[in-house]
Structure 1
Amino acid sequence: MTVKEVTTILEELAPLGHAEDFDNVGLLVGDAGAKVTGILVTLDTLENVVDEAIANDCNLIVSFHPIIFGGLKKITGATYVERVVTKAIRHGIAIYSMHTALDNVPEGVNGKICEVLGLTDTRILIPKQGALKKLVTYVPLESEKELKTALFAAGAGSIGQYSDCSFSTEGTGSYKAGAKANPTKGEIGRIHYEKEVQVNVVFPKVREAKVVRALLEAHPYEEVAYEIYTTNNTDRHIGMGMIGSLKEPANEIDFLKTVKRKMNAPVVRHSPLLGKPVEKVAVLGGSGAFAIEAAKAAGADVFISADIKYHEFYKAENKMLIADIGHYETEQFTKNLLVDYLTKKIPNFAIRLSESKTNPIKYL
């Protein structure tokens, strides 16, 4: 199995197109065509993680956080990033990062937090905008079914739990073939009128190349007329954070103690208690202060995240409890999630959960 084959499997879980624009995801170091001897899954790729990969004959590191975030202008070993990249290259180790691509899928980082906390009826907290596109094309009546079948197989026409969704209207198309054309119907130099169907389908942005390829391969015309639009619709199945409900309402203090225990958090920083039961809980792994307003608007009683600054706790405004349990703590189960996923997809393959400690924050 090659690095590319493994990363293709990972992208079935978290397509890279779902990542935020500022992020740096995908294969960051290494040869996509290299044969994989073993996979080491980690939250961060540090020097001790690369050493662990070397010791266990793993030449592919699957990391949640990207080791290369900004541009590298030189690699001299002066920083921990440069040392990691140098050591990985020297030992033929590839490094692949998922980061916000995994943040934005319901089976990812935030879904895992919900699972650990036992939340039910979960949904995306901040649905992603610009993730849905629409294809409009025109096809002869007799070719409509065949074309739709190809588009559906490529991932078009899926809306939530529904597939093969489309809308068609009949009309008359016209064209005149030029001297060098090879028209499917009509004659060169003469205007031709054809009974056609206008086919409309939506598709995820990450499927665009595949959908267009299917369109061009299945369409009977030499030149295919089509338009693709980015919609303003939000995709409620993709996005940042999640919100769900407790099976039974809980006392605030009891709930915070439960969060601390289940999430292995040494400390929980929180806004003032409100003296009301906790029923709805919003979560966002990593730095999540940007989602405070969304959590309030969604009616969350508690918002669990990390890296909340002093003045950002004021945004609770006595309407919601904000709990900061630590960046590493919110994302710590991500590597377990990935090991479980890869083990199911690639049984009988060397997949290891990293034992290296990468949390840079210590508590006294």
Structure 2
Amino acid sequence: MTLAAVTLAEVAECVEALWPLSGAESWDAVGLLSGDLAAPVARIHLAVDAVLDTVDEAIAAHADLLLVHHPLLLRGVTTVAETGYKGAVIARLIRAGCALLAAHTNADVVARGTSAVLAERIGLRDTRPLVPTAFDSTIGIGRVGDLAEPTTLGRLAGGLAELLPATAQGVRVAGEYDRPISRVALCAGAGDAYLALADVMAADVYITSDLRHHPASEASENGRVGGGPALIDISHWASEWLWLDVAAAQLRHALPGVEITVSELRTDPWTFSIV
């Protein structure tokens, strides 16, 4: 394969076209974290997380850019000393001449964003966002739609377990196994902030990640009294990993000649579970 290098500035322009920074939440820290805009980019490596293993993988692949979903410096730091993992990550990348760029909530809200990809993979039809953006009601956070064929909660959860990469968490469910499911609301990544939305409450099931005990318990108990969805809790990393292949295809189309690779390393923080 003959690689045709472009500049990091040109890649940044491509990323802006695909996942505009204007779509990011105000608290987010997306965009270019490190790298020289004039530097050539012939290889781009995609991962959900900028952790030591994905950084080493990108460097071993001779990538010029590591493009991740989760921003490394989302929360403030006061040091990038290599005694901490964030400093070690940045130092390794800089020494290797590999830039770092994040597309986070700006990649959640677009038409082929994280939740849209998850909805497509489970076969939802006539989808719309749970939380539309202020500038376009057709895009936004989460998705709600209908299955082509009704199923049961147990079969849907089993299908998710087959669709998603395996994690120690697996797929956790709150609800009756045989509960009929037609309408599905979902949010790739952490979504307990949307449990009370009307579209979530009207769905048969809500699929998301990082559901904590109290919000999940309250939602389940309220459902017994006044109605509400069953809950399916999936790995945060796994729910967003599906998006990487779509993002890679979009980058290959926009940057012909640049090699685009996708990490298959599991960066879910949990390594095993005991039941």
Q: One fold, TM greater than 0.5?
A: yes
SS class of match (1:32)? coil
Q: Structure 1 residue 306 and structure 2 residue 209: aligned?
A: yes
Q: Structure 1 residue 72 and structure 2 residue 77: aligned?
A: yes
What is the CA–CA distance in structure 1 between the aligned matches of 2:247 and 2:157, rounded to whole Å? 27
Letter in 2 for 1:247: A
Structure 1, unaligned stretches of length 5 or more?
A: 133-234
What is the CA–CA distance in structure 2 between the aligned matches of 1:110 and 1:297, rounded to whole Å? 14
Q: Structure 2 vs 1, CA of residues 93 and 115 (structure 1 numbering), >3 Å: closer, same or farther?
A: same
Q: Structure 2 vs 1, CA of residues 39 and 114 (structure 1 numbering), >3 Å: closer, same or farther?
A: same
Letter in 2 for 1:260: A
SS class of match (1:21)? coil
> Residues 194 and 200 of structure 2 are in contact (CA less than 8 Å); yes or no, is this contact kept in structure 1?
no
What is the CA–CA distance in structure 1 between the aligned matches of 2:50 and 2:179, rounded to whole Å? 42
SS class of match (1:332)? helix
SS class of match (1:308)? coil
1:26-175 mapped onto 2 (5 Å cutoff) = 26-128=31-133, 131-132=134-135
Residue of structure 1 in register with 2:261 after alignment: 352
SS class of match (2:267)? coil
SS class of match (2:265)? coil
SS class of match (1:303)? strand
String of CA shifts for 1:21-48, please: whole Å, max 9, x gaps. Answer: 1110000111122111311111111222
What is the CA–CA distance in structure 2 between the aligned matches of 1:297 and 1:264, rounded to whole Å? 25
> Residues 286 and 305 of structure 1 are in contact (CA less than 8 Å); yes or no, is this contact kept in structure 2?
yes
> How far 1:355 moved relative to its partner?
3.6
What is the CA–CA distance in structure 2 between the aligned matches of 1:351 and 1:255, rounded to whole Å? 32
Letter in 1 for 2:187: L
Q: Structure 1 residue 260 and structure 2 residue 265: aligned?
A: no
Percentage of pairs with the same residue: 32
Greater fraction strand = 1
Q: Structure 2 vs 1, CA of residues 262 and 357 (structure 1 numbering), >3 Å: closer, same or farther?
A: closer
> How far 1:16 moved relative to its partner?
0.8
What is the CA–CA distance in structure 2 between the aligned matches of 1:13 and 1:350, rounded to whole Å? 17
String of CA shifts for 1:86-132, please: whole Å, max 9, x gaps. Answer: 1111222110000110111121101110111011111111112xx33
What is the CA–CA distance in structure 2 between the aligned matches of 1:236 and 1:324, rounded to whole Å? 27
Letter in 2 for 1:278: I
> Residues 125 and 298 of structure 1 are in contact (CA less than 8 Å); yes or no, is this contact kept in structure 2?
no
> How far 1:275 moved relative to its partner?
5.4
> How far 1:298 moved relative to its partner?
5.9
CA RMSD of aligned residues (A): 1.7
What is the CA–CA distance in structure 1 between the aligned matches of 2:152 and 2:50, rounded to whole Å? 39
SS class of match (1:41)? strand
Q: Structure 2 vs 1, CA of residues 265 and 284 (structure 1 numbering), >3 Å: closer, same or farther?
A: farther
> Residues 274 and 320 of structure 1 are in contact (CA less than 8 Å); yes or no, is this contact kept in structure 2?
no
What is the CA–CA distance in structure 1 between the aligned matches of 2:33 and 2:104, rounded to whole Å? 12
Letter in 1 for 2:229: M
SS class of match (2:195)? helix
Q: How many pairs align?
A: 260
Residue of structure 2 in register with 1:221 after alignment: none
What is the CA–CA distance in structure 1 between the aligned matches of 2:45 and 2:231, rounded to whole Å? 34
2:197 aligns with one of 278, 285, 294: 294
Q: Structure 2 vs 1, CA of residues 274 and 50 (structure 1 numbering), >3 Å: closer, same or farther?
A: closer
1:178-189 mapped onto 2 (5 Å cutoff) = none
Letter in 1 for 2:142: G
> How far 1:335 moved relative to its partner?
1.5
1:281 aligns with one of 159, 164, 184: 184
Which stretch shifts more, 95-104 or 42-51? 42-51
Residue of structure 2 in register with 1:16 after alignment: 21
Residue of structure 1 in register with 2:3 after alignment: none
Q: Structure 2 vs 1, CA of residues 320 and 357 (structure 1 numbering), >3 Å: closer, same or farther?
A: closer
> Residues 129 and 139 of structure 2 are in contact (CA less than 8 Å); yes or no, is this contact kept in structure 1?
yes
SS class of match (1:237)? coil
State the TM-score, normalizing by the size of structure 1: 0.68
> How far 1:259 moved relative to its partner?
1.8
SS class of match (2:138)? strand
Structure 2, unaligned stretches of length 5 or more?
A: 1-5
String of CA shifts for 1:125-175, please: whole Å, max 9, x gaps. Answer: 1112xx33xxxxxxxxxxxxxxxxxxxxxxxxxxxxxxxxxxxxxxxxxxx
> Residues 64 and 334 of structure 1 are in contact (CA less than 8 Å); yes or no, is this contact kept in structure 2?
no
